[in-house]
Structure 1
C-alpha cells in the first residue's frame, strides 16, 4: 500500500520536561489518531501536538500510524555511528562523477548519511552500487513514491538474472537504508521477504569414478 500521509517527530523541552513533538500537515485521519494518544497536548509556541517522551509512547506512535502514515524520525533520532573505529569516509569519488544521460546517481542525502554513520568503505561501495541499480530500474519515478510491490518486482528481476542470495540481501539492505535510515520511515518495507541462506551441497563423485578408484591396484 502506498502511503502519502506522514508525521514528523521532534524533541521538545517544555517546562524542563522532555516531550515528543508530532508535526503534520492538516489531515482529519491523522488528527483523529492523534486524539487517541494518551496525555496528548497542543503547543501554541511550537505549533504541534506533543506527548510525554517515554519509550511506551514512542512505540505507541509507531503502532498507531503503521499502515496509515510514514513516521519521519530524522529529527528525533540521533545519528549514531555504526563503528566509531572505522576511518572517516570521503565520498567525493561519488560526488565528483560526471553526469550520464539516462542514469541517476545515488542522492546526496544517501551519501551524507553513509558518512555520518561511518560505514565501512566496502559496505559503502556495495550499498551505492545496489541502490543505484534500484533507482535506475525505476528511472522515471521518485524513489519516495515506490512501494513494497515495486521493491518485490525489482527483487524478482534480480532473481531472474541469477543474482546470488548474498547480492539480493545486499540490495534489500541498500533499499531499506534509504527509506528507514535516510528518510526515517521505520518498517516501511517490513513485509519484504529475504532469500534464504544458500547451502552448498557436498561434491559427490560419479559411479565411474568410484569404479576407477576401486580398480586401482596399490603396489
Structure 2
C-alpha cells in the first residue's frame, strides 16, 4: 500500500494528514489510532501530531521550541529559585536554557510523570543523535538534577541520574617566548596593559573587565578580584613591572568607574573588543595557533608551576575550589619531562 503523510493544520490544531488510495484494510488500521478522523474537506485521514505518530508515519518535524504552559511555569519557578540562591546571571541563563531544552522535548508529558528513563531517552534520542557535546549534556544533566531536587511531586530519582563521562582535555599553554611576543605586540598602552594584566595575574576575561581603579593596591602590591566565579573574592600579587605599566596607562586614560573603560565613559570595556585586541596581537606575531584569552591564564599557571610554585598557592591564585582542577597543570608542565632522556638518543 502506497501512502504519504505530512503535517497539517485542521481547525487551528496541529495534525498529521495521511493520504492513500481507498483501501478497506488501510482504513481499518488507521481507525485503530487514537484520535484518527476523516476530513471531508481535505479528503484525507488525520491523526494527532504526537511523537509516536510522527515515528509511525516517518515524519521529520522541525524542532518545536515552544514550552507547554506547565513547562513554562516550571521553568519560571526554576529561574526564581536560582535567583533567590544568588546564582550569577550567566549560570542562571546556562541552567535555565538547558532545562528548557529538556522540558520542550517532553512538552506533551506532565512534568510529574517524567522518569529517569525519560532522562536516558533524552540523552540517547536527542543529544547523542544530534552529536551535541558532552559539556552540553553535562549542563543539561546538572540542570535536571538541580531542578528536580526542588520539585516535590516527581518520579525522578535525582541521585540515580549519572553525568556523562568527562573527556580529559589538557589546557592549551604557550611558551614564555610566545607570551612575550604577544604582550609586546601592541604599541597602544591600553591594549598592552590589558593583556599583560591577564597574564601577570592569571585573570579570567570577566575578572579583568570587572576591575575598578580602587582594586589596584599599589602600597601592598596586590590586585583585589571581587565576586569572581563562585562569588568569591581573592587577591593576587602585582609585579612591579605591571604596576609601572598601569601607572603609565592611568596617566593617559584617567579611568573613573572601571579600570578599563570602553568607548563611552563609565562603561566597561566590551568582551568582544578585548578578544579582538588579543586576535590582533596574535596575528602580528604570526602565531598560527587559535589562541584565546584563557590560554594566557593557563600559561600563567603552568609557568608558575615550572618555576617551582607550590600547587596549593597556584590554586589560591587562580580561585579554584578544588585542588583537582589545579592539578591538571602538572600534565602540561614540561620541566620534569625535559629531564627525561629518550632511549632513542642511545641508538
Give the number of the structure whose residues are more often helix, by fraction. 2
TM-score by structure 1 length?
Answer: 0.41
Structure of larger gyration radius: 2
